[in-house]
Structure 1
Amino acid sequence: MEAKTARAPSLSSRLVKRLLLWLYRWKGWTLSGETSLPGRCVILGAPHTSNWDFVFFLGATSRLGVEPAFMGKHTLFKWPMTRFMLDMGGVPVNRSTGGNYVEALIAEFKRRSRLALVIAPEGTRSSKGGWKSGFYHIALGAGVPIVPAWVNNETMQGGIGPALMPSGDYQADLAKLAAFYRSVLPDHPRVLAIEGGANA
């Protein structure tokens, strides 16, 4: 496990986080569901339809006492952005090498005593709802639970669901996650497409 670093976050990252947390409070989101999160987990952010989703998840995890992390293209971590991106919770990955990003994130989990990695399983906001399976392979390989989280920007509501430890049966576990999302967003078209659009 990693040793704690004594380096203080950069001024720019502290200011940006303060601004984003202020926006979270200003928007007035209502948070429901679980009141705590595992220290090491993969948090699913779905459905991912707005840039405001990032603000919600930052604010929600902050309220739950967790520092969220996210994976980003390794090119975004070059100087002069290196320190800022790391302070904001970024984990650099090189996606040009095929599936190696999964192994890289599994290794990152094994290196850290605490890592709450937020992943949008749809991949992009333009997705039609089908999920990519990378999040599952990361959680399974790292031996950490998957925590479903959701946000509805129309109603300004969001929440955290119960943690699911991956069993190794992707389709069965996907069905459980889909059932949770249908329970909180029953009519959302991208939620209805979860099981039918799963791919690697």
Structure 2
Amino acid sequence: MAGTSPLSRSRPKPSNRTGVFASLMRNLAALMLAVTGWKLEGDWPQDAEKAVLVAAPHTSNWDGLWMIFAAAYYRVKLRWMGKKSLVDHPLGWFVKWLGCVPVDRKSASDIVEQTAAAFAESDRLTLAVAPEGTRSAMTEWKSGFYRIAIKAGVPLIITVLDYGTRTVKIAGLFQPTGDYQADLPLIKAYYANAEGRHKGNFSLNAGED
């Protein structure tokens, strides 16, 4: 219900990042989430300075907005992969500041290697990746999010964007073992009851009404 506090169930603990701007954005995000009726659940992992954030379900452009608000509340700057051309101009620094991690699809090194290199060059990086890879219905997740975590040697942060309960949940850290086929069912289990904005497009229940 609109107006419900995002802190009504508990008071999720943010990251250990501090600063006036981070605090301001956190308060603004809490207000926006309250006004729109979204709630937060789960504490931010304090020992994850570098991680791949699993962003699912992803069935709508609205998903990014709720994730941005949630990240701001947790005092985390989400970063995302974008084409290198997005930063190859005088205002490229601003695009990077917004969170873009540029990747060159024409490079000899693949995207996984380029992204792993970005992790190595950063002291702190939370990279949001939608495993479905598209807002349209998919029957399988793409493995890029997992391969990036393995190559960079970082954990996964499991986040569940559930439109059914209007909750953004931080389910916790998942340490990938390197066995994708064994780990994937364990990761997907966190999303068993989640609903995307367009329910039938979520890959766990693709094809349903």
**TM-score category of the 2 structures, normalised to the smaller one:** 0.7 to 0.9
Contact kept, 8 Å, 2:156 with 2:176, in 1: the verdict is yes
Q: 1:138 deviation in Å?
A: 0.5
The structure richer in helix per residue is 1
Q: 1:28 deviation in Å?
A: 3.0
Q: How many residues align?
A: 178
Percent of aligned positions that are identical: 38
Residues 61-80 of structure 1 aligned to structure 2 (within 5 Å): 61-80=71-90
Contact kept, 8 Å, 1:128 with 1:193, in 2: the verdict is no
**Worse-superposed segment, 39-48 or 98-107:** 98-107
* Alignment match, 2:40: 31
Q: 1:35 deviation in Å?
A: 3.5
Q: 1:65 deviation in Å?
A: 2.0
**Worse-superposed segment, 81-90 or 149-158:** 149-158
- In structure 1, distance between residues paired with 2:139 and 2:186: 16
Q: What TM-score do the two structures reach when normalised by structure 1? A: 0.77
Q: 1:50 deviation in Å?
A: 1.2
* Alignment match, 2:172: 162
**Worse-superposed segment, 111-120 or 34-43:** 34-43
**Worse-superposed segment, 47-56 or 125-134:** 125-134
Contact kept, 8 Å, 2:41 with 2:168, in 1: the verdict is yes
Q: What TM-score do the two structures reach when normalised by structure 2? A: 0.74
* Alignment match, 2:65: 55
Q: What runs of 5+ residues in structure 2 fail to find an aligned partner?
A: 1-24
In 2 relative to 1, CA 105–120 (structure 1 residues): closer, same or farther, beyond 3 Å?
A: same
* Alignment match, 1:149: 159
Q: What runs of 5+ residues in structure 1 fail to find an aligned partner?
A: 1-16, 195-200
- In structure 2, distance between residues paired with 1:147 and 1:164: 6
Give the RMSD, CA atoms, in angstroms.
2.8
- In structure 2, distance between residues paired with 1:114 and 1:182: 30
The runs of at least 4 aligned residues of structure 1 exceeding 4 Å deviation read: 20-25
- In structure 1, distance between residues paired with 2:139 and 2:92: 32
Q: 1:191 deviation in Å?
A: 4.8
In 2 relative to 1, CA 99–193 (structure 1 residues): closer, same or farther, beyond 3 Å?
A: farther
